[in-house]
Amino acid sequence: MWPMLLLACAGDADPVRARPGNPLTDDGDSALIPDTAALGPDTADTGGDSAVDTGPVDTAAPTEVCYLGPDRAGLTCVPVVPDDGTFGADYVYPAPYDSSPQYAAPVRYLDLDALDPGLPVAPNFVLEELAAAYKGRWAVVQPAFVVHLQDLRDTIGGPLTVTSGYRNPAYNASVGGVTYSRHQYGDGADLEAGGYSVEALGDLCYDEGADYVGLYEDGHTHCDWRDETLDPAFFAVIAGRPAAPPERASIAVDGDGLRAPAEGFDEGEPLRRWTAFAADGSIVASATGRSFVPPADAARVRVVVGGRIEVEAELPPRKLNSTVEGSR
């Protein structure tokens, strides 16, 4: 039986592999020493102490926002309403992450109670698919995001289902969304497409210029365009290229098996794909799941968490007690 051990790693926009070559030791010491330069800032709330770089600010507040529409003309326009401070606790946004204006709270919203939920904002999408009133009466749906979704739908050539679009901060918290989920900023969604694996759909999102893709074990793919310039219809500060909150993952020994604890993913359990290697580098086993028991001849193991973070470690020789040996 292996001792409990935690190996830390952090993710960014691309998969990050933990430093390889250090075995899981039997004395409880960490076998993987994460490169602290790759870990990024702490994921805790930054609070309200840091000033946000205001950058260019709109001088004439927009009164409407225009979408692609059913004919792709970009002339499907609807009003936006300013946040007058009466939206309540459900709309308390976190202080901007790392003082990045890309995470500033919206200042204008769609009033879903005043709009037709069946409004075609694109040839294959209606408003209610991207922003449902039960997730927040006032919503943010950025026009460029709608264009990306329609382009994805065109590429797929069949149904593209948005399982979750805009979420106000309270609803986001209620479903386990991370503090800075892009669902709250109108440029992210959870997607499913028949005939496409989560990886295949994620690849299509990357092809469409997505800045972040996450894969989840319940079968959905999260795609967002968090680095794109914010739309002035909803935001007072026009920005781009923020410092994104990192995800973190690790390998932990649990009895005769391994687990891969993770945090910072948008919601739900990220998909975990395990691969075990023999000493000569050949693959001896692979599996998908929250835990994994490597075969006896495995010398090294790798897990890819959410399609974003790759953690790898060498395994120590098995030290089996007589009871375990007898059972085998």
Residue-wise pLDDT tens digits, 154-168: 999 999 999 999 999
Q: Which residue range(s) make up the domain with 190?
A: 64-224
Residue at 78 is within a domain:
yes
Do 146 and 101 fall within a single domain?
Answer: yes
Low-confidence stretches of the chain (pLDDT < 50) are: 1-58, 319-328
Same domain, 194 and 153: yes
Residue positions counted in the chain: 328
Q: CATH number, domain at 273?
A: 2.60.40
Among 107, 147, 99, which residue's Cα sits nearest to residue 123? Answer: 147
pLDDT at 110: 98
Q: Are residues 106 and 157 in the same domain?
A: yes
- What pLDDT, on a 0 to 100 scale, did the predictor assign at position 12? 38
Apex 32 CA angle, 19 and 264, nearest 5 = 85
Residue 185 lies in a domain: yes
Dist. CA 45–CA 214, nearest whole Å: 21
217 located within any domain: yes
Chain segment 242-274, per-residue pLDDT in tens: 556 677 888 888 877 898 888 877 667 888 888
Helix axes 198-207, 143-156, angle to 10 degrees: 120
Ordered DSSP codes for 250-306: EEEEETTEEE--EE--SSSPBPEEEEEE-TTS-EEEEEESSEE---TT--EEEEEET
pLDDT at 244 (0 to 100): 64
Same domain membership, residue 257 and residue 144? no
Same domain, 189 and 288: no
Report pLDDT for 319.
41
State the pLDDT at residue 36: 26
Same structural domain, 216 and 105 = yes
Look at residue 118 in the predicted model and tell me its pLDDT.
98
How many independent structural domains does the chain possess?
A: 2
CATH code of the domain containing 114: 3.30.1380.10
Q: Where are the beta strands (DSSP E) in 165-261?
A: 188-192, 212-215, 221-224, 247-254, 257-259
